[in-house]
């Protein structure tokens, strides 16, 4: 039986339990001796499906407890993605004879739960020795360059060819094991994507597979909020689910209140408002207008700077903007400015940022003022900025932040509250009662009873559970009904006849309905009905 415990996109953490063993997934099956799991491989590889579906149906694996994907190496990138998409289910997915140290992270990213050392052994017997991500000819070595239990730094000249192959097979398996451990750690920390983006650069075909994957298949498994930092180091970074989700959703939810909008450059420190630059500007100029911060590949209204990934990302800063970057960011900035219906744009930007603004506002009938004269924090620039945004009426930024985050995360409105706390750890209160607070770690809102009841009434982000006792975890077996829009890491509410509460989803809403086993919701707090 498979017990999923955590999901991050297509990758997940779980446990396979049989009568006599427990395997923590993702895992490596070893075929040096007898493998730990009994698997039916079927009589034909998955590739046959593309030649004759009827024949494949007859010869395919039985897949009682485990989904099996064989013959991946002969498929095109598109076929590989189609295969993963079809095989994805509540059962663990075993990708057979495909893993090497360089591609295994990508296999897990695409949804494999189990891999094996078959290819690593096959390669060993043709003289290929794994050194980190590289595959080297073992006979180029005088001595094994490794001191694992197989290599022990031995001289090759003292060994027979068969012995060398056998040692290489053991060594390759060890290297693969390390890589699998690394991946499990990364999935746990929600950091696998950063690693995969770096890893695929070693092989163009892996890069194309990742690029295709970003625009392929069911994305309901992908979280909107994560605890990991988003690195925008590759071209592929802008295609991440969380980036396109954030931009589209932010635009949908954006409701500025002033006629003037101030455009500012991003800062290395996040949230931007805690940076030296933004704090200094605000200490010198009373900014009572809507602000939009320009970054790459993000455009962030100030109201949403505490929302993931805006709150926690890193982008390499060189001062150089590529034409693609300018075009991408400018197109989004234009959408936000149009949506805001502003009468005037005050752009306190220079360099590449200014080029973004110029491109974004091309042919728009809107007044634009550039206020940087010497340097962004220079005296003359500050004076110019004061002139342009002075005398405007005050608005409560914290109120605007909660208003936007509630809409962004749950699609609900809740006002007439007071706000307190030290930025960014701020909270929303009604009288003395806490209504919501910023969860800085995930870049989302954490909610309390009042909002929980609103969500239950609207039947959104809601999980209906059976009447049973539970403490910290709600298992999929206890779920009666779950909102299909729930994604992993979403804040959800749960209820039965005696209790309601707030928790964090460990799987998607659809999976909660389909799965018989595994963790559905991690409980944060409970209230009597």
- From the number of C-beta atoms within 10 Å of its C-beta (0-12, 13-18, 19+), residue 459 rates as exposed
CB of 164 to Zn ion, least distance (A): 12
DSSP letters, 26-95, are SEEE--SSS-SS-----SS-GGGGGT-HHHHHHHS---SSSEEE--GGGS-HHHHHHHHHHH-SSSPEEE
- In the complex, the smallest distance separating the C-beta of residue 100 from Zn ion, rounded to whole angstroms, is 15
Separation of first and last alpha carbons in the chain: 34
Cis check for the bond before 297: say yes or no (omega within 30 of 0). Answer: yes
Least distance (Å) between residue 171 CB and Zn ion: 3
Least distance to Zn ion, CB of residue 36, Å: 22
CA distance 53 to 60: 10
Q: Which is nearer to Zn ion, 141 or 241 (CB)?
A: 141
Shortest Cβ 207–Zn ion spacing (Å): 29
Calpha distance 154→119 (Å, rounded): 24
Nearer to Zn ion, 148 or 412 (CB): 148
Measured from the CB atom, the residue of 41 and 165 that comes closer to Zn ion is: 165
Residue 98 Cβ vs Zn ion, minimum distance, rounded to whole Å: 22
Distance CA 126, CA 394 (A): 73
Find how far residue 271's CA is from the centre of its chain.
19
Q: What is the dihedral sign for C-alpha 100, 105, 109, 111?
A: positive
Residues interacting with Zn ion, by CB under 5 A?
A: 146, 148, 151, 171
Nearer to Zn ion, 148 or 460 (CB): 148
Nearer to Zn ion, 167 or 298 (CB): 167
Dihedral pair phi/psi, residue 224, rounded to 5°: -90, -25
Q: Given the complex with Zn ion, which of 147 and 459 has the nearer CB atom?
A: 147
Q: How many CB atoms lie within 10 A of CB 54?
A: 8
Minimal distance in Å, beta carbon 96 to Zn ion? Answer: 24
Interior angle at CA 365, CA 362 and CA 367, nearest 5: 95
Residue with smaller CB distance to Zn ion, 148 or 513: 148
């Amino acid at each position: 039986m498979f017990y999923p415990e955590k999901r991050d996109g297509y990758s997940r953490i779980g446990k396979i339990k049989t009568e006599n063993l427990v395997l923590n997934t993702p895992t490596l099956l070893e075929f040096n001796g007898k493998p730990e799991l009994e698997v039916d491989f079927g009589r034909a590889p998955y590739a046959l499906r593309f030649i004759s579906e009827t024949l494949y149906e007859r010869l395919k694996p039985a897949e009682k407890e485990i989904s099996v994907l064989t013959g991946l190496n002969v498929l095109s990138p598109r076929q590989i993605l189609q295969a993963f998409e079809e095989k994805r289910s509540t059962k663990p997915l075993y990708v057979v004879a495909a893993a090497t140290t360089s591609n295994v992270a990508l296999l897990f990213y695409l949804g494999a739960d189990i891999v094996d050392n078959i290819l690593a052994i096959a390669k060993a017997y043709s003289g290929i020795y794994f050194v980190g991500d590289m595959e080297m000819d073992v006979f180029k070595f005088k001595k094994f360059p490794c001191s694992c239990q197989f290599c022990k730094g031995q001289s090759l000249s003292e060994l027979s060819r068969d012995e060398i192959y056998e040692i290489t097979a053991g060594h390759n398996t060890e290297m693969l094991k390390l890589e699998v451990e690394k991946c499990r750690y990364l999935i746990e920390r929600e950091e696998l994507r950063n690693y995969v983006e770096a890893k695929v650069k070693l092989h163009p075909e892996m890069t194309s597979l990742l690029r295709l994957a970003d625009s392929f298949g069911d994305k309901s498994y992908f979280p909107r909020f994560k605890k990991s930092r988003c690195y925008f180091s590759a071209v592929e970074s802008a295609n991440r689910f969380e980036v396109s989700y954030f931009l589209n959703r932010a635009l949908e939810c954006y409701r500025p209140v002033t006629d003037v909008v101030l455009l500012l450059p991003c800062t290395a420190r996040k949230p931007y408002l805690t940076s030296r630059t933004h704090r200094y500007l605000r200490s010198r100029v009373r900014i009572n207008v809507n602000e939009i911060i320009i970054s790459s590949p993000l455009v962030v209204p100030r109201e949403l700077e505490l929302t993931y990934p805006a709150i926690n990302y890193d982008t390499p800063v060189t001062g150089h903007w590529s034409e693609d970057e300018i075009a991408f960011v400018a197109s989004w900035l234009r959408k936000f400015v149009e949506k805001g219906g502003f009468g005037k744009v005050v752009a306190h930007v220079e360099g590449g940022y200014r080029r973004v603004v110029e491109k974004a506002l091309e042919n728009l009938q809107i007044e634009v003022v550039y206020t940087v004269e010497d340097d962004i924090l220079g005296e003359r620039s500050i004076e110019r900025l004061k002139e342009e945004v002075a005398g405007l009426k005050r608005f409560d930024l914290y109120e605007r932040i909660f208003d936007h985050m509630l809409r962004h995360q749950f699609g609900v409105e809740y006002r007439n509250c007071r706000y307190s706390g030290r930025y960014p750890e701020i909270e929303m209160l009604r009288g003395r009662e806490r209504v919501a607070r910023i969860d800085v770690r995930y870049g989302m809102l954490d909610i309390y009873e009042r909002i929980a009841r609103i969500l239950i009434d609207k039947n959104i982000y809601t999980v209906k559970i059976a009447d049973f006792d539970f403490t910290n975890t709600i298992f999929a077996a206890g779920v009666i009904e779950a909102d299909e829009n729930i994604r992993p890491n979403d804040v959800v509410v749960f209820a039965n006849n005696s209790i309601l509460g707030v928790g964090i989803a460990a799987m998607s809403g659809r999976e909660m309905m389909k799965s018989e086993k595994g963790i559905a919701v991690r409980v944060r707090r409970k209230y009597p009905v």
